[in-house]
Structure 1
Amino acid sequence: MRKELWFGFSIMGLVLLSIVWMLLGVDKITHGHQGLLMLSLVVIAIMLGFPTAFTLMGMGMIFTWLAYDGDIRRTLDLMVQAAYKSMANDVLIAIPLFVFMGYLVERANLIEKLFKSMHLAMARVPGSLAVATLVTCAIFATATGIVGAVVTLMGLLALPAMLRAGYSTSMAAGAITAGGCLGILIPPSVLLILYGATAGVSVVQLYAGAFFPGLMLAGLYVVYVIIMAKIKPQWAPPLSAEERRVDLPAPIRALPADAGNHAPRRLLQALKGKRNAEVPTGYVLRQLALVLLPGLLFVLLAAGTWRSVTTVQAEAQYDIQPIGAESSSSAPAEGGLQEPPTDGALQEPPAEGALQEPPVEGAVQEPPGAEPPPAAAAAAEPASAPAATAEAAAAERKPAPTWWWVGFAVLGALVAVFYLFLSFARLEIFKMLLASFFPLVVLILSVLGSIVFGLTTPTEAAAMGSLGGFLLAAAYRRLSMDVVKESVYLTAKTSAMVCWLFVGSAIFSAAFALLGGQELIEKWVLSMNLSKVEFLVLSQIVIFLLGWPLEWTEIIVIFMPIFIPLLDHFGVDPLFFGLLVALNLQTAFLSPPVAMSAFYLKGVAPPHVTLNQIFAGMIPFMGIQILAIFLLYQWPGIGLWLPQTLYGR
């Protein structure tokens, strides 16, 4: 019998022994113990290969019927109510739209161009092919969110290239499988939508919170590959000069120019005299426009963000006075309530015969420097108006924050380095990136930016992303009726699986709560007198172990409803807990025996690549995931800074 089967049967045996030990250790079997029995049987049935959604529904129905003492009517009522509650959840509408966007982007055939341009751009980096594979997987997984599609395509494209270059099979397989799994963490992620719908957490805030942890995890993968390529170069040998060579187009060679020439200087020289007699001036100008594009974008971005970060938002001022108080100004406000005219009203009697002010002739005059009379003050007001306006305009500005200066200093340094070392070979690589990398980045940032900055809801952004994927496939001439039909069919299939899973989860959770299983677990956990740290460590260990036999969808819909009610008692933010869980659930695709990414890769790998070699390549990346969880726990700001900055959490 294979090792994987032995491992699976061992896990099931441990679950069965736990059930027997629990039932034998109690004096009376209550409904709560039946709930725990239902939970254990669901895990065993899923490991035996039964469909998850219908297993959850079936077990929920059976144990609800037992809880209601055989009352089938109340059992069916519970099922209908749970199913309707799932159907009425508008957060789930974003799932088919994001999935449809992913399938359209996948069929635009961008991944081949993206991988080639990335590996040429990183040709001098140690382990360049593996680094390019991780970056390509991260970008493509973010655009699609479909782990199986990314791992399969990169297995067909990058694995043969790395094996031909002499890479270790384990290193190559680990980079592909780990990079392909990033789509379940980096937004837009279906996992985060399901967690938000289950835990009642804003999906917008989850997307904002998961952005930097996802980049951190991808960065740790890249750092690991570079370090191992330096320590053990036989695992990831450098590319040869022939593999790094970039072919120049004929007009560039006719300037004349070679790959090592400084592109901006040579193009400017080509505009003088007859040095470009064989090259059209329009072609040279177009190349110069491409050269100037990064600098122009930097200036526009800096100018646009400067105004937003230095402008003080004016608050509306209302001159509210107490009832009966007199206004500080004798002049009536325009459009306000005015005193009625006093014509015909009682007037003050004339003060004839009363004491009058003495004549001012020869009287004491105001000393010099005294305040001018009202007429003189009114005359001086127009002269001081420009100065007051300038002071008010200066008061509406505030200094730019430190992060803005640091960010644009780094970005400016990168732009300067780009121009300093821009040869014609690098210009060709830049054009390849413009055709493959930047369209995907623009699509991703437009979707995520519109969600994170509150311009659209996740559902509206998903619809916009679907339109973007449609236009991207059309722009690359990959859009056809067959592509649309296949994308719609796969979207319907995936969405139906996720939504049926959510319905099954709702029925199972309702039955589990009805039996009192949740209450029994809460009492058991609270009786342990755990601190907040101990609870987080225990919960993450449980989720890590569950990732071995189960997939992330099953963990989210079955076990998150058990953990979430305990968060309030231990003072854990559900958003922060969700980020820890999302990082942890990467293991569900990388941990045997149910490491689905390993089976995706094995299905397209050459025959000599064994499953054990793929599993061996996954283990270091699982260790990196544990390190990422530790870093996120030690510095929660990695995940919480962006939601706090944008939404004031």
Structure 2
Amino acid sequence: MRIRKELWFGFALMVIILVPVAMYTPWTSFIDGHLDHADLGALGLLMLALIVVAIMLGFPTAFTLMGMGVFFGWLAYRSVNPALANQQILDLMVQRAYSVMSNDVLIAIPLFVFMGYLVERANLIEKLFKSLHLSLARVPGALAVATIVTCAIFATATGIVGAVVTLMGLLALPAMLRAGYNIKVAAGAITAGGCLGILIPPSVLLIVYGATAGVSVVKLYAGAFFPGIMLAGLYVGYVIVLAKWKPHLAPPLSAAERVVPLPPLSQALAPRSRNALTGLFGALRDPALPKPQVATQFFVSVLPALSIIALLVLLYGAATAPTAVVDTTGLVQSGGAISSAEDAPSDASGLAEPPQDESALQEPPKDGAEVKEPQAPQAAQPAPAAADASAAVAAPAAADTTAAAAAERLPVPLWYWIVLAVGLASLVLVCWLMSWQRLEVFKLLLASFFPLAVLIIAVLGSIVFGLATPTEAAAVGALGGLVLAGIYRFISARQANPDNAVAATVKDLGGIIKESSFLTAKTSAMVCWLFVGSSIFSASFALLGGQEIVERWVLSLGLNTVQFMLLSQFIIFILGWPLEWTEIIVIFMPIFIPLLPKFGVDPLFFGLLVALNLQTAFLSPPVAMAAFYLKGVSPPHVTLNQIFAGMIPFMGIQLIALALLYAFPAIGLWLPSLLYK
């Protein structure tokens, strides 16, 4: 019965699309073959409607785009010159395919996808999820919160929605069901958290949008950083409030589940002191204990305190750094004499002829006449030269004074004292709360999150701060993912069989590279064929005048900027129900992008809104690919309807985040404006 309902829903959508198109299409002109400009525009709208219906029927998107683009483009050329229509449409195919192949931005897609698949197979996420849910054990809805945070961190390392949802469905869903979590809450947390990879860099969607709209991918990555954090924070806040309001939906962890087994050294030192810092510090003076092991554990225990101190020192240096003064005095004085000589004020206007030498215009002397020597120019006055010399002598002294003034540090601002007070309070709190159990949880976090954090900083930091292009950073990330996979596979192999660890690691790594390469080629081929198909489709749509009709229709509505943004985002939100984000980007963004200058909308800001809005493409039925990913790895008693129901509240949160981003554009535009002035 459920399948029948979904089929009826899909057929109803197709009828809603096709009936108005069939009513307003000039079929008589098509049959007669006499197509004027208006008829071609109607043909373009028919093509747009047919592609949506064909995708909903399950036809391959890329090749459907390509086939319809070629057919309708041939009709457009045939209406002008039937003899050249075949040659022109073939030329269009070749040109569009070559333009996609020569796009350097698209090279980053397979590299980022390859990095994601390698990190997924590094056995890193399981340790990260375990350490996070132990560290958040006292937070209401700890397992769901840990799931969302893990998904957000994993999204920054992969950007692959299907991989994140599938892996977290295998790790987090059984753990939440065993803990008594409601199926809808558990499914909603996994699917919503897994879809964060659409927005959080290195998002493949942002690369595709940047290549489609001609927007810098670097600026898109910088702009999407804070909206992604905001959306993840809203998800976490909703789960905490729900778990506090209705504890039976997300029960807290039991005391037994919060216990972390202690190693022998910690078990021996725990009776001496409840605090790990004081216990390890005292153990350093005990000759009966192994000094290297105790010193290592003590260093690990003070790492949080050292991190806080280092952060405060860096903030102090940034807050009191002297203002950089660029001294241009010498440059001005060097050209001062020339400027005074050549730029002397004159009564003549700027169009006056240049001054002429009167002696050069005199007639040549006649024979026997006395030739007068030209008068020597008047000697320059020594006063200006002396003044210039004295100014030049005084310049170094002034420059030294300016440099000395600039070298003095600025006074400490008020905000730093506030940050210092908060940092010192945090330092005391961390040292006081560092029990033996928390030390083990921190060691788990350090072993699972720190390598991933280094990889994320190396990739995203190099992109955002302009040290590398997205393609170069993606290559570094792919290499880093390969190294991480090798290290963690070696650790696992050494724990299982120390004698054969190297051979087992090489064998596992070869299988990982083979599988990751195959999946990367499959995903990249899909994206590139989509680009080729959408490029041909967009060219045919423009040839038919469809873009012109859409533009005239939108402008005829008399919308202001706010109304246009609401209309466009509403259309994208509705399109996210039957279509995936790839289809929306490659088909409909070329229609929206030319309208942005008409309403004064920044394409960068529009792209951030679209990326946030297109989360619904993975969370909205009946397509909702995240639900099908989760259903594929969930127990049999978890139904698809339960997963859909769990998604609905998180869809509402996405709309709230969309409204916040539109009301406060600085959430997305502040970082790009700061870094790329």
| Structure 2 length-normalised TM | 0.83
- Aligned pairs for 1:505-524 within 5 A: 505-524=534-553
The percentage of aligned residue pairs carrying the same residue is 66
Letter in 2 for 1:523: R
Deviation, structure 1 residue 452: 0.7
Per the alignment, residue 261 of structure 1 pairs with 274
Identify which of 474, 477, 492 aligns with 2:521: 492
Report the CA distance between 1:439 and its aligned residue: 1.4
Other-structure match for 1:455: 467
Cα distance, 1:485 vs. partner?
A: 1.0
Of 529, 550, 562, 1:533 maps to 562
Match of 2:74 among 51, 65, 80: 65
Residue 436 of structure 1, aligned match among 448, 452, 458? 448
Name the structure 1 match of 2:42: 33
Match of 2:500 in 1: none
CA contact (8 A) 1:4 1:592 kept: no
Any idea what SS the aligned residue of 1:187 has?
coil
* 1:359-508 matches, cutoff 5 A: 390-394=404-408, 397-398=409-410, 413-477=425-489, 480-508=509-537
Query: Cα offset for 1:271?
Result: 2.2
> Counterpart of 2:235?
221
SS of the counterpart of 1:30? Answer: helix
- 56-65 or 300-309, which moves further after superposition? 300-309
Moved more, 439-448 or 302-311: 302-311
The corresponding residue for 2:106 is 92
Are 2:270 and 2:436, in contact at CA under 8 Å, matched by a contact in 1?
Answer: no
- How far the C-alpha of 1:325 sits from its partner, in A, is 5.2
Q: Which amino acid aligns with 2:667?
A: I
Measured in 2, the distance between the counterparts of 1:588 and 1:261 equals 51
Deviation at residue 400 of structure 1 after TM alignment: 6.6
* C-alpha contact (below 8 Å) 2:219/2:672 kept by paired residues: yes
Matched residue, 1:643: 672
- Listed one character per residue, the Cα deviations across residues 107-150 of structure 1 (whole Å, up to 9, x for unaligned) are 10111101100000000000000000110111112211111111
Q: CA deviation at 1:571?
A: 0.7
- SS of 1:323 mapped into structure 2: helix
How far the C-alpha of 1:408 sits from its partner, in A, is 6.5
C-alpha distance in structure 2 between counterparts of 1:170 and 1:187, whole Å: 28
Pair 1:206–1:178, CA change in 2 (3 A):
same
Deviations 1:404-448 (A, max 9, x none): 776666555444432221111000000000111121122112211
CA distance in 1, matches of 2:425, 2:197: 30
Aligned-partner Cα distance in 2 for 1:107–1:84: 35
Determine the C-alpha separation between the residues in 2 that align with 1:484 and 1:54: 29
The verdict on how the C-alpha distance between 1:324 and 1:262 changes in structure 2, with shifts beyond 3 A counting, is closer
Q: Residue 543 of structure 1: SS of its match in structure 2?
A: helix
Q: Is the 8 A contact 1:42 1:55 kept in 2?
A: yes
**Quick one: which of 265, 269, 283 aligns to 1:270?**
283
Shift of 1:4: 1.8
Give the match's secondary structure for 2:157.
Answer: helix
Partner of 1:237: 251
CA distance, structure 2, for counterparts of residue 249 and residue 481 of structure 1: 34
Equivalent position of 2:369 in the other structure: none
Are the equivalent residues in 2 in contact too, given 1:583–1:625 (CA < 8 A)? Answer: yes
2:261 is matched with 247
Shift of 1:492: 0.9
- Residue number among 135, 147, 169 corresponding to 1:155 in the alignment: 169
- In structure 1, stretches of 5+ residues that fail to align are 327-347, 349-377
Work out the CA distance in 1 between the residues paired with 2:161 and 2:327: 50
Quick one: distance in 2 between partners of 1:87 and 1:158?
40
State whether residues 547 and 588 of structure 1, in contact with CA within 8 Å, keep that contact through their aligned partners in structure 2: yes
Report the CA distance shift for 1:313/1:100 in structure 2 as closer, same or farther (over 3 A).
farther
Match of 1:578 among 607, 610, 614: 607
Match of 2:365 in 1: none
Distance 1:427 1:74, change over 3 A: same
**1:553 partnered with 2:582:** yes
Find the counterpart in structure 1 of residue 649 from structure 2: 620
Q: Is the 8 A contact 2:305 2:430 kept in 1?
A: no
Q: Which residue of 1 aligns with 2:21?
A: 19
Cα pair 2:141 2:240 within 8 Å, conserved:
yes
Match of 1:18, as an amino acid?
Answer: P
Matched, 1:129 2:143: yes
**Partner in structure 1 of residue 292 of structure 2:** 282
Name the structure where helix makes up a greater proportion of residues: 2
The CA deviation string for residues 136-182 of structure 1, in whole angstroms up to 9 with x for no partner, is: 11111221111111111111111011011110000000000000000
Partners of 1:156 and 1:605 within 8 A in 2: yes
Structure-1 separation of matches of 2:468 and 2:420: 27
Q: 1:167 to 1:413 in 2, by over 3 A?
A: same
| Shift, 1:216, TM fit | 0.2
| CA–CA separation in structure 1 for the residues paired with 2:598 and 2:180 | 54
Q: Aligned in 2, Cα 1:416/1:442: closer, same or farther, shift over 3 Å? A: farther
Structure 2 counterpart of 1:552, one-letter code: W
Measure how far apart 1:266 and its partner are: 1.1
The answer on whether the counterparts of 1:192 and 1:207 sit within 8 Å (CA) in structure 2 is: yes
1:107 aligns with 2:109: no
CA distance, structure 2, for counterparts of residue 627 and residue 637 of structure 1? 16
Q: 1:413 to 1:475 in 2, by over 3 A?
A: farther
User: Following TM superposition, by how much is the alpha carbon of 1:489 offset from its aligned partner in structure 2, in angstroms?
Assistant: 1.1
Q: Distance in 2 between matches of 1:401 and 1:532?
A: 40
Q: Quick one: structure 1 residues 42 and 387, their matched pair in 2 at CA, closer, same or farther if it must change by over 3 Å?
A: closer
Q: Distance in 2 between matches of 1:645 and 1:405?
A: 24
Give yes or no for contact 2:534–2:587 (8 Å, CA) kept in 1. Answer: yes
How far did 1:388 drift? Answer: 7.9
- CA–CA distance in structure 1, aligned partners of residues 399 and 237 of structure 2: 60
Cα separation, 2, equivalents of 1:413 and 1:214: 29
Instruction: Identify which of 286, 293, 301 aligns with 1:291.
Output: 301
**Residue matched to 2:155:** 141
CA separation of 1:641/1:105 partners in 2, compared to 1, >3 Å: closer, same or farther?
Answer: same
> Are 1:167 and 2:143 matched, yes or no?
no
TM-score normalized by the length of structure 1? 0.87
- Give the alignment's Cα RMSD to 1 decimal: 2.8
> Secondary structure in 2 aligned to 1:83?
helix
Rounded Cα–Cα distance in structure 1 between residues aligned with 2:234 and 2:484? 30
Instruction: Report deviation, 1:302.
Output: 4.0
Q: Tell me, yes or no, if the aligned pair for 2:123 and 2:489 is still in contact at 8 Å.
A: no
SS at match of 1:145: coil
Alpha-carbon contact 1:208-1:643 (below 8 Å) kept: yes
- Rounded to whole Å, the distance in 1 between the matches of 2:339 and 2:66 is 69
- Cα 1:206–1:403 change in 2 (3 A) is farther
What displacement does 1:5 show? 1.6
Q: Match for 1:595: what amino acid?
A: A
DSSP-derived class of the 1:541 partner: helix
The offset of 1:303, in angstroms, is 3.6
Unaligned runs of 5+ in 2: 30-35, 342-378, 380-392, 491-507
Q: How many residues align?
A: 595
Structure 2 CA distance for aligned equivalents of residues 207 and 483 of structure 1: 28
